[in-house]
């Protein structure tokens, strides 16, 4: 049936050519003017990012566009697979938490040094050739003068069924890490990274389980645990 359909289409095309050929004289005697074709808008078809990654004030490469890559001196390479620019506030009174962005990053050609470090977060098993992790960048600010305790971002739950320990399995080392207490009206800028076994193409959303705030002297809760979800 498909061959018959193709043959019919081919026949129609041939018929159209023949019809034009028979009416050449009529067309040539027509006073109608042929419109001049204009150039079509053309864009390069590519999966490559449109720009190069930039560096921050400390010289670190910042991946902001899917496809951006960075390579360490030891050969370890990271590539941005997904990004969700959030810039939304979550109230855990008196703490104001702002989720800046959420990324899915892939590590390849992991060096021996990095491998030894990361193995402690994979139960000591061999690292995969492509190791993926979810990264969350945020700021948290105490809006009051009194000291406030906060348990941070506790879990990352994915639509693929993973419940990741963002508190105990954070692979991002911060020089000025948060110790769990805001001493007065202070602000903390933080980054967490948690290894995921999920197929990046199947990651559609993540749910953040955000720890409670409490009085650091009595340990009484102020605001209970919160949760919020973001789609890629």
d(CA 39, CA 161): 50
d(CA 142, CA 93): 8
Cα distances (angstroms) measured from residue 163 to each of 138, 170, 198, 208: 20, 13, 11, 10
**pLDDT tens profile 166-202:** 999 999 987 677 889 999 999 999 999 999 999 999 9
Q: Residue 84's pLDDT is what? A: 97
Residue 171 inside a domain? The answer is yes
Residue with tokens 């809006």: 143
Q: Residue 1's pLDDT is what? A: 41
Residue 63 inside a domain? The answer is no
Specify the DSSP class assigned to residue 64: -
Residue with tokens 């990741």: 164
d(CA 39, CA 148): 63
> HEC profile for 8-52?
HHHHHHHHHHHHHHHCHHHHHCCCCCCCCCCCCCCCCCCCCCCCC
Q: Residue 171's pLDDT is what? A: 95
Residue 6 inside a domain? The answer is no
Q: Residue 60's pLDDT is what? A: 79
Structural tokens at position 196: 């995921």
Domain that holds residue 82: 76-231
Q: Residue 33's pLDDT is what? A: 59
pTM for the structure as a whole: 0.77
Q: Which residues of the chain have pLDDT under 70?
A: 1-35, 38-48, 175
pLDDT more than 70, % of the chain: 79
Residue 211 inside a domain? The answer is yes
Residue 22 inside a domain? The answer is no
CATH (domain of 96)? 2.60.40.4170
Residue 25 inside a domain? The answer is no
d(CA 211, CA 214): 10
Question: For the chain, how many structural domains are there in total?
Answer: 1
Task: Determine how many CB atoms are found less than 10 A away from the CB of residue 138.
Answer: 21
Q: How far apart are the first and last CA of the chain?
A: 43
Q: Which of 213, 211, 208, 209 is nearest to 223 (CA)?
A: 213
Specify the DSSP class assigned to residue 5: H
Half-sphere exposure (Cβ direction) of 231: Cα atoms closer than 13 Å: 0
Residue 116 inside a domain? The answer is yes
Specify whether the CB–CB gap between 106 and 167 falls below 8 A.
Answer: no
Burial letters 190-226, b for 16+ CB under 10 A, else e: bebbbbbebebeebeebebbbbbbbebeeeeebbeee
Residue 58 inside a domain? The answer is no
Q: Residue 45's pLDDT is what? A: 52
């Amino acid at each position: 049936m498909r061959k018959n359909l193709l043959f019919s289409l081919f026949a129609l095309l041939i018929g159209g050519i023949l019809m034009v050929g028979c009416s050449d004289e009529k067309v040539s005697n027509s006073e109608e003017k042929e419109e001049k074709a204009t150039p079509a808008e053309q864009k390069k078809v590519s999966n490559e990012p449109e720009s190069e990654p930039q560096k921050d004030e400390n010289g670190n490469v910042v991946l902001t566009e899917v496809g951006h890559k960075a390579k360490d001196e030891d050969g370890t390479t990271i590539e941005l697979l997904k990004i969700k620019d959030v810039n939304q506030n979550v109230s855990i009174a008196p703490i104001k938490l702002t989720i800046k962005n959420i990324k899915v990053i892939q590590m390849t050609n992991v060096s021996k040094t990095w491998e030894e470090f990361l193995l402690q977060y994979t139960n000591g098993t061999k690292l995969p050739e492509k190791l993926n992790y979810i990264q969350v960048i945020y700021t948290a600010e105490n809006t009051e003068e009194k000291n406030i305790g906060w348990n941070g971002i506790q879990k990352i739950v994915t639509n693929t069924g993973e419940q990741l320990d963002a508190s105990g399995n954070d692979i991002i080392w911060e020089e000025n890490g948060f110790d769990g207490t805001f001493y007065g009206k202070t602000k903390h800028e933080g980054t967490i990274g948690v290894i995921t076994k999920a197929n990046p193409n199947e990651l559609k959303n993540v749910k953040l389980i955000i720890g409670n705030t409490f009085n650091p002297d009595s340990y009484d809760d102020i605001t209970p645990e919160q949760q919020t979800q973001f789609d890629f």
